Amino acid sequence: MKIAYREIAGSGPGFYALLGVLGLFVLFALASAHYMEEHGHIVTGMTNHIVWGTPHVFAVFLIVAASGALNVASIASVFGKAAYKPLAPLSGLLAIALLAGGLAVLLLDLGRPERLIVAMTEYNFKSIFAWNIFLYTGFFAIVAVYLWTMLERRMNVFTKPAGFVAFVWRLMLTTGTGSIFGFLVSRQAYDTALLAPMFIIMSFSYGLAIYILVVSAAFRWSGRELGDAVVLRLKSLLAVFIAAVLYFVAVYHLTNLYLAKRHGIENFILLDGGIYTTLFWVGQILLGGIVPLVILFHPRLGVSRFWIALSSLLVILGGIAQMYVTIIGSQAYPLVLFPGMQESSSFHDGAVHNYAPSLPEVMLGLGGIAVAGLIVAIGVKFLRFIPENLDNSAVAALESTAPVQG
């Protein structure tokens, strides 16, 4: 069976309104970056103790989700599931868009974006940040080639090997992102190899949740039919990933609780951390994990597209909460400079550090989401990334006939 991909015909006011809103957020982000550049990071909530603030929360979340957004394409080409093949091109586009949005925030938050050229030409291979330069740029190139093999009919024969390379590279990318924290031995909440695989499974969950919202909106707004067969497959896969994230989080904290030297940070995150404890239990565990699982496994709610979309949104919000706790909460807890002893100084050593996000930080982070949204909206509108029809009969035919033709 042949699946026809078509750009979206017509340009109603809704499309331009969407572009206008997203563009406005991008402008706000650029203005925020300029404001922080002119006045210094003193205008943010960041300090010498908490050097990675809210923009890093959004940036790392988007970068991690970019890897997971390739779930559908990987399932289609690497694992040979025909029902997912028509949705694979959109999966690749979303992956590129999310990574671009995350890196845009990361670059503008560093304070000296013009020094990117230094990071791209002079490398310290003992630094995980240097390795990530190759992982991020390689991801763009590999996924671009992957998209070419999917959308150009003559290149379809290379889709499977390209998909395999992309699958391996995305695992490497997320491993590198998780290792940024895992290699920081000075922070008690980090310094563990478990963060690398935990970031991988987190990427599967976050990326698929975003993909479900994007594909549902793309088909609905373009007036094209997306059958329940595909939606229910995606929601079942999302439920598995949510459960896996909860499992890894439990193993991570149980491992830390087993080590006496980490009882302090665990008590801070799980019991006495104030906003960080609230975000962990209410945002990350309850709203970002348990509630979506209940919805997706419910016999009635789990087949409703509204509730599936709501559970996906909760996973995204829970993921942002998880990144906030992981990145900022771990910095708020004081460094253990002299184990077994208490220390204090005029630099507030040994004290829990306060942090409150400023408006420029929040706007910069939201700007990264807007950048990703603009890339996807324009790509879907003017290029052939989504099929004309993917109802239940089309999916059934795909599973029983020849491979998809782009």
Which pTM does this prediction carry?
Answer: 0.92
User: For residue 79, how far is the Cα from the chain centroid?
Assistant: 22
The string of pLDDT tens digits covering residues 145-171 is 999 998 888 888 898 999 999 999 999
Model pLDDT, residue 401: 65
pLDDT of residue 406 exceeding 50, the answer is: no
Q: Which of 133-147, 241-255, 291-305, 339-353 has the lowest mean pLDDT?
A: 339-353
Model pLDDT, residue 192: 83
Average pLDDT of the chain? 88
pLDDT confidence band for 190 (50 / 70 / 90): confident
User: For residue 51, how far is the Cα from the chain centroid?
Assistant: 21
pLDDT confidence band for 126 (50 / 70 / 90): confident
Model pLDDT, residue 389: 84
- Residue indicated by tokens 């779930």: 71
**Tokens, residue 177:** 């992102």
3-state secondary structure the chain: CCCCECCCCCCCHHHHHHHHHHHHHHHHHHHHHHHHHHHCHHHCCCCCCCCCCHHHHHHHHHHHHHHHCCHHHHHHHCCCCHHHHHHHHHHHHHHHHHHHHHHHHHHHHCCCHHHHHHHHHCCCCCCHHHHHHHHHHHHHHHHHHHHHHHHCHHHHHHHHHHHHHHHHHHHHHHHHHHHHHHCCCCCCCCCCCCHHHHHHHHHHHHHHHHHHHHHHHHHHHCCCEECHHHHHHHHHHHHHHHHHHHHHHHHHHHHHHHCHHHHHHHHHHHHHCCHHHHHHHHHHHHHHHHHHHHHHHCCCHHHCHHHHHHHHHHHHHHHHHHHHHHHHHHHHCCCCCCCCCCCCCCCCCCCCCCCCCCHHHHHHHHHHHHHHHHHHHHHHHHCCCCECEECHHHHHHHCCCCCCCC
pLDDT of residue 206 exceeding 60, the answer is: yes
- Residue indicated by tokens 């999310």: 98
Between residues 348 and 66, which one has the greater pLDDT? 66
User: What's the Rg (C-alpha) of the chain?
Assistant: 22
Between residues 344 and 248, which one has the greater pLDDT? 248
**Tokens, residue 335:** 């460094």
pLDDT confidence band for 405 (50 / 70 / 90): very low
**Tokens, residue 403:** 């491979």
Model pLDDT, residue 48: 82
Are 343 and 349 contacting, i.e. CB atoms less than 8 angstroms apart? yes
pLDDT of residue 240 exceeding 90, the answer is: yes
Burial (CB count within 10 angstroms: exposed 0-12, middle 13-18, buried 19+), residue 43: middle
Are 59 and 109 contacting, i.e. CB atoms less than 8 angstroms apart? yes
Are 202 and 319 contacting, i.e. CB atoms less than 8 angstroms apart? yes
**Tokens, residue 300:** 């009635």
pLDDT confidence band for 376 (50 / 70 / 90): very high
At residue 347, what is the residue type? F
Using alpha carbons, list the distances in angstroms from residue 257 to 194, 262, 272. Answer: 14, 7, 15
Burial (CB count within 10 angstroms: exposed 0-12, middle 13-18, buried 19+), residue 42: exposed
Give the integer Cα–Cα distance in Å for 263 and 258: 8
Domain ranges of the chain: 13-238+358-398
Query: What count of other Cβ atoms lies within 10 Å of the Cβ of residue 75?
Result: 22
Give the integer Cα–Cα distance in Å for 339 and 322: 27
- Residue indicated by tokens 């220390």: 343
Model pLDDT, residue 353: 84
Q: Which CATH class is domain 13-238+358-398?
A: mainly alpha
pLDDT of residue 345 exceeding 90, the answer is: no
Model pLDDT, residue 224: 87
Q: Looking at residues 23-35, what average pLDDT do you find?
A: 95
